[in-house]
Structure 1
Amino acid sequence: MSAKSPEDRILAAIRAIPRGQVAGYGEVAHRAGLPGRARLAARILSQNEDPGLPWHRVLRSDGRIAFPEGSRAYREQSQRLRAEGVKVENGRVKRPRRTDTLDEALWGPGER
């Protein structure tokens, strides 16, 4: 049995993003077991031709759509996200702060 290629792993991570949710390119790479490879994830996504891939669920790390504002792809991504119930304002999706530990995920940030 052969190991999955980085491309297969990235595409599988994108397919695993649930409807109505989003992930950044870096998160996709991390979930694919390729931490620090956000640019690879972006390149693979840009070259993909599978019409069933939920590409619209992948955003920049700051929650912004990566396409130029007003472009056809920008409008399409915004429409697809809104159709899934994602709130898009000025090309940006507000996302909750990422938690680094299970305790933070369950109980919120501690006192610092």
Structure 2
Amino acid sequence: MLEEAREEFRSKVFTLIGAIPSGNVATYGQIAALAGAPKHARAVGYLLKHLPVESSLPWHRVINSQGKISFPPESDKFSEQSALLRSEGVQIQGGKVALRRYQWC
């Protein structure tokens, strides 16, 4: 039964992330709560960290609760996520997104 619950959570998380519109962001905690597991923000991060390379899921639209990109600022992934968000019109200042302006839902 536990494995079934994990798979259901995983499916909900991926569906929710896929529904985030271009030009918007959501937080790990927000996705976890919408998936029915409000205390499992880290599990959302874990799922995104282990996405298949060929995935088309818009992982870049998920950021932390402070509006920050979670990758280290000097990393390639930080640069990639920043570029993807900017290409969708999301402004990033100091590695941070204005949640009041861009947060989905």
TM-score normalized by the length of structure 2? 0.84
Distance 2:35 2:22 in 1: 18
Q: Percent identity?
A: 42
The residue number in structure 2 matching 1:80 is: 84
Q: How far off its partner does 1:51 sit?
A: 2.6
Select 1:19's aligned residue among 19, 22, 25.
22
Q: How far off its partner does 1:93 sit?
A: 0.2
The residue number in structure 2 matching 1:109 is: none
Q: Which runs of 5+ in 2 are unaligned?
A: none
Structure scoring higher RCO (CA < 8 A, sep ≥ 6) equals 2
Q: How far off its partner does 1:5 sit?
A: 1.6
Higher gyration radius (CA): 1
Provide the secondary structure at the position in 1 that maps to 2:99.
Answer: coil
**Aligned residue type for 2:26:** A
Task: Report the aligned-residue RMSD.
Answer: 1.7
Aligned residues: 96
> 1:12 touches 1:32 (CA, 8 Å); kept in 2?
no
**Aligned residue type for 1:37:** H
Distance 1:55 1:77 in 2: 8
Select 1:71's aligned residue among 67, 75, 78.
75
> Which one has the bigger helix percentage?
2
